[in-house]
A = this chain, B = another copy of it.
Amino acid sequence: MSTLISGEVDVMLDGFERAIKTDPDFEACPVRGVLDRIGDKWSTLMVLTLALRPHRFGELKRAIPDISQRMLTQTLRDLQRDGYVARKVFPTTPPAVEYSLTDLGRSLMLPLSGLVEWAVRTRGAIEAARAAFDRENV
């Protein structure tokens, strides 16, 4: 079974098994840290948007119209704090602020694109599974 899937996965699972034996502290888990960041409602959308090109505050607001100004500011701050996003202020009038991905943020794009590709590919299967489950469970 394990031999059916890539060796990369086996390496990760070995590391996971070792980690939970030596230090079963799920709070300090780096994966959980990353998922807490990109697992919220807006972060991934914002990272992808900034991956296209740097955006100003207002540009982001227009690119993601559903987001509230409050959440836009807060998500940008959180992404900046963890080093995914750089904030550059131009002291013009009116003020201009440009947000862009850092090298760290850009390095996330590779694993993230894997996940995006998987999500698009399996979309149908997940919808089918959900429909089947709901049918069987009244």
Contacts and interface: CB of A to CB of B under 8 A. Distances in A.
A120 to B, nearest CB: 5
A61 interface: no
Contacts of A58: none
Contacts of A114: 8, 110-111, 114-115
A89 B38 CA distance: 35
Contacts of A83: 125-126, 128-130, 132-133
A138 interface: no
A129 B101 CA distance: 13
A50 to B, nearest CB: 11
Interface string A106-120: 111111111111111
A5 B51 CA distance: 11
Contacts of A8: 110, 113-114, 117
Interface stretch (A12-20, A68-76, A90-98): A12-20
28 contacts: A8-B117, A9-B51, A9-B110, A9-B113, A12-B113, A13-B48, A13-B51, A13-B113, A15-B120, A16-B48, A20-B63, A29-B45, A30-B119, A31-B115, A31-B116, A32-B41, A32-B45, A33-B123, A34-B118, A35-B44, A38-B39, A81-B129, A83-B128, A83-B132, A107-B118, A111-B111, A111-B114, A111-B115
